Amino acid sequence: MIKRILIVDDSPIIHNLLRKTLENNGYEVCGDAKNGREGVELFGQLNPDLVFMDITMPIMDGLEAAKSIKTLRPQARIIMLSAMGDEEIMSQAKDLGIDIFLKKPFDDYKIISAIAKLV
């Protein structure tokens, strides 16, 4: 069961859009982090059911943050959501055990069907 979701992205626009999509579909956004380090800290505090994680972010990027989260909790569910999605990045994400990789831009269907695949 996925209910509480943490968003990790440095763009206020993405937080805004993603929050709207998730809340309209009955999910609760339990935390907003604007870089990877904040994301790891909030993950530890909030223990969310799912994390939406950007890649290019200041201080700590999304791949490094995902690695730390997977170390903290190997069964943590993470969806990468990035403007970049070439084979090299996808392969790095796969090696980290990332569940799903989505490319921006996104619409409600893309987000909700990705979450459905994890259930």
- Closest listed residue to residue 54, CA positions, set 28, 32, 27: 32
Q: Tell me if 88 sits within 8 A of 40, measured CB to CB.
A: no
Q: In angstroms, what is the minimal distance from the CB of 99 to another protein?
A: 20
- Binding-residue total with another protein (CB under 8 A): 25
Phi, psi of 15 (to 5 degrees): -60, -45
Report the residue number, 49 or 54, with the smaller CB distance to another protein: 54
Residue 44 makes contact with another protein by CB under 8 A = no
Side-chain half-sphere CA neighbours of 86 within 13 A: 1
Q: Looking at 22-30, 44-52, 57-65, 68-76, which segment touches another protein (CB under 8 A)?
A: 57-65
Residue 53 makes contact with another protein by CB under 8 A = no
Q: In angstroms, what is the minimal distance from the CB of 105 to another protein?
A: 4
Residue 2 makes contact with another protein by CB under 8 A = no
Dist CA 35 CA 102 (whole Å): 18
- Closest listed residue to residue 20, CA positions, set 37, 33, 7, 8: 7
Chain residues in the site for another protein (CB under 8 A): 10-14, 16-17, 20, 35, 37, 56-59, 82-88, 103-105, 107
